[in-house]
Amino acid sequence: MTAELTAHQLIDKHRPTLDQALETIRTRAYWSPHPEHPKAYGENGSLSAADGKAAFDALLGGRMDLGQPGTDDWVGGEVSPYGPALGITYPHADIDVLLTAMRAGMRAWRDAGAELRAATCLEILARISARTHEFAHAVMHTSGQAFMMAFQAGGPHAQDRGLEAVAYAYAEQSRTPGTAEWTKPQGKRDPLALTKQFTPVPRGIALVIGCNTFPTWNGYPGLFASLATGNAVLVKPHPRAVLPLALTVQVAREVLAEAGFDPNLVALAPERPGEGIAKTLAVRPEIKIIDYTGSTAFGDWLEANARQAQVYTEKAGVNTVVVESTDDYQGMLANLAFSLSLYSGQMCTTPQNLLIPRDGITTDAGHRTYDEVVADLAAAVSGLLGDDARANALLGALVNPDVKARLEAASGLGEVALPSREIGNPDFPDAVVRTPLIVKLDGAKPDDEAAYRSECFGPVSFAVAVDSAADAVELLRRTVRDKGAMTVGAYTTSEEVAQAVEEACLEECAQLSLNLTGGVYVNQTAAFSDFHGSGGNPAANSALCDGAFVANRFRVVEVRREN
Amino acid sequence: MTAELTAHQLIDKHRPTLDQALETIRTRAYWSPHPEHPKAYGENGSLSAADGKAAFDALLGGRMDLGQPGTDDWVGGEVSPYGPALGITYPHADIDVLLTAMRAGMRAWRDAGAELRAATCLEILARISARTHEFAHAVMHTSGQAFMMAFQAGGPHAQDRGLEAVAYAYAEQSRTPGTAEWTKPQGKRDPLALTKQFTPVPRGIALVIGCNTFPTWNGYPGLFASLATGNAVLVKPHPRAVLPLALTVQVAREVLAEAGFDPNLVALAPERPGEGIAKTLAVRPEIKIIDYTGSTAFGDWLEANARQAQVYTEKAGVNTVVVESTDDYQGMLANLAFSLSLYSGQMCTTPQNLLIPRDGITTDAGHRTYDEVVADLAAAVSGLLGDDARANALLGALVNPDVKARLEAASGLGEVALPSREIGNPDFPDAVVRTPLIVKLDGAKPDDEAAYRSECFGPVSFAVAVDSAADAVELLRRTVRDKGAMTVGAYTTSEEVAQAVEEACLEECAQLSLNLTGGVYVNQTAAFSDFHGSGGNPAANSALCDGAFVANRFRVVEVRREN
């Protein structure tokens, strides 16, 4: 193949960005090459808001032909959580044909080397970035996120996580030199001398199993980590969130082809309703890596059964916030209210259990009883979401009927401190928009334990009365150990309590945010700086992104010769 | 505890060695701080040959009290492959008591940080190094290695592998800074600012399951990788090779105590005959990491069943050498003869299948038929081992009766090209010393396939007649893919054949040595430079040593606070 994009062009264009990413994963300071503001787009080849919307609208009701081999059918039944059916169909694959085709280009991709692979991945990300406005609508109308969140989390933040994975992958592959001269002295005899070549080689075909709520943000780390380490990548999207990953695959195939590589190194595997193709694909011998975000049940199944593959899972967890004391009561309430409301609590990082001493807490506004704290938090949420337009912009829509059913059932779990409110969306009358429910539970009551010890995914939080700070820390510990947690938060002015919470997080391996009262929320993490998950508790077996996330996606083969 | 060794002392003493190790794993040039020559010892506090022998002799017939909690019995039944029973007993543990005690010191060990942990590990290695002569006898009389090999492979080479693991562990833990300041601009508003702390935290208790043939060389990488990343380490030695690891544990406990840490961070778990304690320990919830070297059956069992742990295995494989052509026929024969003879072929890296075209090969000494190549190799082995003293020094003793039985059975597998010869050892009349057996097999005969497609561990090689170079490469490929390989060798003057072999090794993920005719052998790898195994074929799921070997032995916990 002749390449429209030469290796030199790609590397010249993207090496500075790669270097900055490599530097930032070491310093973990703030950095992003992907603008967060919608108005930053529309120049230098990127789609403006209007063009992005038009591009999205043009996709609706159409067939997205990716040019994949082995296409035996066209499938797709996405319905926006905001109401409209997308009406888009995608190529369904004859798996035997597609997997065979995907292997064909792997040798050339391997031989390209780590730097050119990284530059090619960065070109893919740059083109995705240029279409951020189009992706924003695609993410919004599959995940139910409000537009601004879909734009940011589905666009620049997801692209950051992809770039971060490329940087880690490049760093890991370049730790070993391409060649080495080894000369061992032998006293008076001639030294032993060998020339050694080291080549990073891929594992095989990687499978990315996408999720409904964050198709790009959760999909990009595994996709780009595997691709940058030389593997082919098959993307199995969630049936309700195909479009964002189909667009991603489309861009990847286009760039690979222009760079002279086989576009089949990246392919899409959407499924027919009820086909359950993930289970079939996951145990295929060609599949050597799996990245999965979703339920604990299927994540555990993958870990137990896809034994031929390296399996990276992000599953369910129960996130806890310890509320013990604060010197900024209003800031705490505002911060928590936002965390509970954002995307209707449908983030894997949203707090679920708020542990509050039953004797109340000390604040800068005086002592507050347990009931007062809960009431004040309920009021803060109500205030935040009092305006319907603002509520819609924060909440988005419930992603699927299961969340709605769970929310409705949850009000029966205990005394309702804040009922969930139905909100109308003037633009999308069919959208199911609900404010968060807060239920009071007693940490000492065995009947309540079943509720707060299970993940209740959606806009549901439990204000759990505990005996003391020590009791809260002990419950935090048990919850993380047994159920896992993507995030832990704590509010305390006591150095002793802070240390106890910190020690619990260190021992149970959970990421902790302490005393957040401003514009950073416990449920948000920033690429290059924050780890998403720890990989050390039951919520996830890997963290985004670290050395362990990339190091086993390739192996190094050594060829040594005498000089 | 008050420390006799302060953190400053340890770091000052060992930081230069750590830095050199960190540099060498990047350059992969030759380096070792551990002298290979026996005469290099005896000064600067290290044991001389005589003192080392005396120290070993003083252990015989005694009880090795490690001061471990929960000791409920004394066990041990080691008999040297050279004949004498060692008569040493070791503390058998009440596992519940011991595991509980091992956790007690983990917090302080975690809080010590990566640098002090590395320095402490290097002090352990330095003290082991000083006792290399003592360890040499311990390795010799448990593995059956000849003295010089036990000295080198069990001493400096094992210590190198341990140091390499410490270097990788330190590098991995220090990729993320201890703290970071994160400041995100917010246009006209104040920036968001967080202080983030990052702490490497251990997984838990690591289990090292030792092997009979290389207790230190194969045991040290996992032991030191786990300890350096903050874990406690329980060492379950092979019942026939307890002493070298018991000495190791003794030294580790001594250093830990002197440095002010809990000595129970490292402990020994020897077993009663038939107790099968590895299986019990491997699935204990406290055990979070397992390093294992041994049979494929038990390695596969561990991978399938020890689901609560990260499992690193080195199992069986079938190593192949392709013999296609050479421009140094005598060099090739000499090199292969040595590789087949060293430690009676009882290395996981010893070639088993020599693939030779049935039409013969081109050499600098003219064309040689298949029969001539096999006869010449047989003569080279006979010549190398013609002198009994030299033969004893190369072969060592058969490690156990299974190897002897397998060797005896193997002569019935095909036409014997070189019979195994019994050699007397004047110093140890009960030692079972045997020269390598070479059996001719036909790659095209289904009956022969069962033999050359299985690992026949011990001094047995198969000269397999193949149709062509292409046939050899295809058989090599299938063997690596299905059976795994720790090493692959090839002799060829054809660039085309070399490339085909290389491509097979890149695709099937095996480490290749090309045209070795001098003093480097396919079965030897050097720490800091060569990877031992690839972790990408069925012989092993990890390589010694790379990022993947250490990156998942710890996790990083982040604590973030608003500024």
DSSP states of A222-256 as a string? HHHHHHHTT-EEEEE--TTS-HHHHHHHHHHHHHH
What is the pLDDT, as a whole number, of residue A462?
98
CA–CA distance, A132 with A150 (Å, rounded to integer): 10
* Sequence ranges of the domains in chain B: 7-22+42-177+203-316+547-562, 320-514
What is the pLDDT, as a whole number, of residue B563?
87
- Residues B7-22+42-177+203-316+547-562: name the CATH superfamily: Aldehyde Dehydrogenase; Chain A, domain 1 (3.40.605.10)
- Chain B's closest residue to A520, CA to CA, is B192
Residues of B in contact with A29 (CB under 8 A): 180-183
Residue B154 or residue B1, greater confidence: B154
Alpha helices in A275-423 (DSSP H): 277-282, 296-305, 329-341, 370-384, 388-395, 401-410
User: CB–CB of B506 and A543 under 8 A?
Assistant: no
Packing angle, helices B147-154 and B132-143, rounded to 10: 120
Residues of B in contact with A521 (CB under 8 A): none
Alpha helices in A422-462 (DSSP H): 446-452
Packing angle, helices B329-341 and B370-384, rounded to 10: 60
DSSP states of A27-94 as a string? H-----SS--SGGG-SSTTPPPHHHHHHHHHHHTTSB-----TTEEEEE---B-TTS-B---BEEEE-
Q: How far is B79 from chain A (nearest CA, A)?
A: 35
User: CB–CB of B535 and A529 under 8 A?
Assistant: no
The set of residues, in sequence order, having a beta carbon less than 8 Å from that of B386 and lying 6+ positions away, is: none
CA–centroid distance for A552 within its chain: 20
Among A511, A514, A526, the residue with its CB nearest the CB of B561 is: A514
User: CB–CB of B180 and A561 under 8 A?
Assistant: no
Q: How far is B364 from chain A (nearest CA, A)?
A: 17
Q: A106, A506, A532: best mutation site toward chain B, by most B Cβ within 10 Å? A: A506
Profile chain A (563 residues) by mean pLDDT over runs of 10 residues.
83 98 98 96 95 98 97 96 97 98 98 98 98 98 98 98 98 97 94 97 98 98 98 98 98 98 98 95 98 95 96 96 98 98 96 97 98 98 97 97 96 97 96 98 94 95 98 98 97 98 98 97 97 97 97 98 93
Task: At B284, give phi and psi (nearest 5°).
Answer: -65, 140
Within 10 angstroms of residue A39's Cβ, the number of other Cβ atoms is 8
- Which tokens in the block code for residue B314? 């080195």
Among A176, A520, A552, the residue with its CB nearest the CB of B562 is: A520
- Which tokens in the block code for residue B546? 């790379």
CA–CA distance, B125 with B142 (Å, rounded to integer): 21
User: CB–CB of B557 and A510 under 8 A?
Assistant: yes
User: CB–CB of A552 and B535 under 8 A?
Assistant: yes
Q: How far is A51 from chain B (nearest CA, A)?
A: 25
What is the residue type of B49? A
Burial class of residue B270 in the structure, from the number of CB atoms within 10 Å of its CB (0-12 exposed, 13-18 middle, 19+ buried)? buried
Dihedral (CA of A280, A286, A288, A291) sign: negative
Q: Which of B533, B543, B529, B553 is nearest to B225 (CA)?
A: B553
Q: B31, B512, B532, B556: best mutation site toward chain A, by most A Cβ within 10 Å? A: B556
pLDDT tens-digit map of B326-373? 999 999 999 999 999 999 999 999 999 999 999 999 999 999 999 999
- Chain B's closest residue to A536, CA to CA, is B555
Among A304, A517, A555, the residue with its CB nearest the CB of B536 is: A555
- Which tokens in the block code for residue B235? 């060492």
Residues of A in contact with B173 (CB under 8 A): none
Angle (CA) A111 A117 A120, round 5°: 135
SS3 B514: strand
User: CB–CB of A28 and B177 under 8 A?
Assistant: yes
List, as own/partner pairs, every contact residues A421-429 make where C-beta atoms lie below 8 angstroms and the sequence separation is at least 24, other chains included.
A421/A385, A423/A385, A423/A388, A423/A391, A423/A392, A423/A395, A424/A388, A425/A82, A425/A392, A425/A397, A427/A82, A428/A80, A428/A82, A428/A83, A428/A84, A428/A397, A429/A83
The set of residues, in sequence order, having a beta carbon less than 8 Å from that of A501 and lying 6+ positions away, is: A322, A473, A476, A488, A490, A492, A512, A514
pLDDT tens-digit map of B507-532? 999 999 999 999 999 999 999 999 99
The CATH code belonging to domain A320-514 is: 3.40.309.10
Q: How far is B177 from chain A (nearest CA, A)?
A: 7
Q: A26, A174, A182: best mutation site toward chain B, by most B Cβ within 10 Å? A: A182
User: CB–CB of B201 and A509 under 8 A?
Assistant: yes
What is the pLDDT, as a whole number, of residue A220?
98
User: CB–CB of B557 and A303 under 8 A?
Assistant: no
User: CB–CB of B28 and A198 under 8 A?
Assistant: yes
What is the pLDDT, as a whole number, of residue A1?
47
Q: pLDDT exceeding 70 applies to what percent of chain B?
A: 99
Residues of A in contact with B548 (CB under 8 A): 548, 551-552
Q: How far is A28 from chain B (nearest CA, A)?
A: 6
Q: For chain A, first and last CA: distance in Å?
A: 36
Q: How far is B433 from chain A (nearest CA, A)?
A: 29
User: CB–CB of B182 and A558 under 8 A?
Assistant: no
What is the pLDDT, as a whole number, of residue A276?
94
User: CB–CB of A512 and B110 under 8 A?
Assistant: no
- CATH class belonging to A39-176+203-315+543-562: alpha beta
Length of chain B: 563
pLDDT tens-digit map of B479-517? 999 999 999 999 999 999 999 999 999 999 999 999 999
pLDDT tens-digit map of B201-257? 999 999 999 999 999 999 999 999 999 999 999 999 999 999 999 999 999 999 999
Q: Which of B281, B151, B116 is nearest to B204 (CA)?
A: B281
Burial letters for B73-97: b for 16+ Cβ neighbours within 10 Å, e otherwise? eebbebebbbeeebebbbbbbebee
SS3 B187: coil
What is the pLDDT, as a whole number, of residue B1?
47
pLDDT tens-digit map of B379-388? 999 999 999 9
Q: How far is A536 from chain B (nearest CA, A)?
A: 6
pLDDT band for position B2 (cuts 50, 70, 90): low
Residue A290 pairs in a beta bridge with A207, A311
User: CB–CB of A557 and B526 under 8 A?
Assistant: no
Among A184, A506, A520, the residue with its CB nearest the CB of B194 is: A520
CA–CA distance, B37 with A186 (Å, rounded to integer): 11
Residues of A in contact with B308 (CB under 8 A): none
Residues of B in contact with A531 (CB under 8 A): 556, 558
Among A28, A182, A526, the residue with its CB nearest the CB of B529 is: A182
Q: B25, B173, B181, B184: best mutation site toward chain A, by most A Cβ within 10 Å? A: B184
